[in-house]
Amino acid sequence: MPLAFGFGQPLLLLLLLLLPIAAWGYWQAERRRGSRLASAAVLPSVVPRPSGWRRHVGPAAYGLAIAALLVALARPEHQTRVPVEQASVLLVTDRSGSMRARDVSPTRMDAAKAAATQFLDEVPDQIRVGAIAFNHRVRLVSPLTTDRERVARAIDRLTGRGSTAEGDALAVAVRTLRQQSLAFGSQVPSAIILLSDGESVKGRDPAAVARAAGRYEIPIHAIALGTDDGVLESRASDGSVKRERVPPDRRTLREIADRSGGTYSDAPSAAALRQVYEELGSAVATEEQDEELAVFPVGIALLLVLGGAGASLLLLGRVL
């Protein structure tokens, strides 16, 4: 998708200012020609009748062609996102008990699965994607691969239970991506997408891990899933229903994103979560590059030259 438009050599556009001067010179030459024709009225059998507007068609087309070529010299370009070779993305998904809350329909867990599947459809095919799931334990449920079906199946099997060890999950994700870079012998462009809905209560400090990720140039795009009114219901041994508030820990997730150089998103609904994943799918593991568009004004100039020559030949019997 195009991001911006500009010119590689914008100063060359100043040459376009010569065209009005050339047009003025052409107009003056035509006036002098008209004066000479008027003084030659005594030679009606020698001087042909002026061709009127027809004789200006060719020069006008040639002038526009020159303008198009000058624009091409200025190297028009637009900025676009292209997939980075060997890039990798790890989906790190919270599967703690709070993911069973129903403030995000049908449940937070189901919404996360559906959005992750959409993400896999959005991300460029050549990008490696892996999946990590965590509660109080961390598990690499799918290694980095271009096999989207494998990753989707691994995510679809997730269920929500247990507590949250967010920092440990991020540490495993950073280590996995670092190992890949060592295997390739160079820094591989990488990113982590972290989806969580609760406060980390076990393991390492997630903010400290995020700082390390930033040093390794691994941005963490953090998504806070759920609403402040989210409630987890569970049944006690005596048959009573226990209700526990489970709001997302937005402050920690913002800090993780900031310290790693990533982005933070709030997803209070399934639709919002899908939108976040859609945007990340076209942004992660890609980079901005300038693509030259000079071929287009050159093509236009060629068409103008051919069109002007053809029109002059048809109207005047000559190309000039």
pLDDT at 287 over 60: no
**Structural contact between residues 64 and 71, judged by C-beta atoms closer than 8 angstroms:** no
Res 132: pLDDT: 97
Q: Which amino acid is at 58?
A: G
- Per-residue pLDDT tens digits for 189-247: 889 999 998 788 889 999 999 999 999 999 999 999 999 988 888 776 777 778 888 89
pLDDT at 33 over 60: yes
- Per-residue pLDDT tens digits for 269-286: 888 888 888 778 766 655
Res 1: pLDDT: 41
Range with top average pLDDT, 13-22, 46-55, 87-96: 87-96
Res 220: pLDDT: 94
Specify the 3-state DSSP secondary structure of 277.
Answer: helix
Confidence band for 94, pLDDT divided at 50, 70 and 90: very high
**Structural contact between residues 119 and 91, judged by C-beta atoms closer than 8 angstroms:** yes
pLDDT at 51 over 70: no
Res 18: pLDDT: 86
Specify the 3-state DSSP secondary structure of 97.
Answer: helix
Res 28: pLDDT: 79
- Helical segments of 40-194, H only: 54-73, 108-122, 148-156, 166-184
Two structure tokens written together for 116: 């992750």
Percent of the chain exceeding pLDDT 90 equals 39
Res 78: pLDDT: 72
- Per-residue pLDDT tens digits for 244-261: 888 999 999 999 999 999
Identify which of 163, 193, 192 has the alpha carbon closest to the alpha carbon of residue 267. 193
pLDDT at 39 over 60: no
pLDDT at 265 over 80: yes
- Determine which of 7-16, 80-89, 208-217 has the lowest per-residue pLDDT on average: 80-89
Two structure tokens written together for 112: 């996360």
pLDDT at 99 over 90: yes
Strands (E), the chain: 2-7, 76-83, 88-94, 128-134, 138-145, 190-196, 220-225, 231-235, 241-245, 264-267, 286-292
Confidence band for 118, pLDDT divided at 50, 70 and 90: confident
Beta bridge partners of 134: 94, 138
pLDDT at 2 over 50: no
Domains of the chain, each with CATH number or no CATH: 2-79+291-316 (no CATH), 85-284 (3.40.50.410)
Q: Which residue has the higher pLDDT, 134 or 10?
A: 134
Q: Which amino acid is at 271?
A: A
pLDDT at 290 over 60: yes
What gap in Å lies between CA 277 and CA 300, rounded to an integer?
40
Report the mean per-residue pLDDT for the chain: 83
Confidence band for 36, pLDDT divided at 50, 70 and 90: low
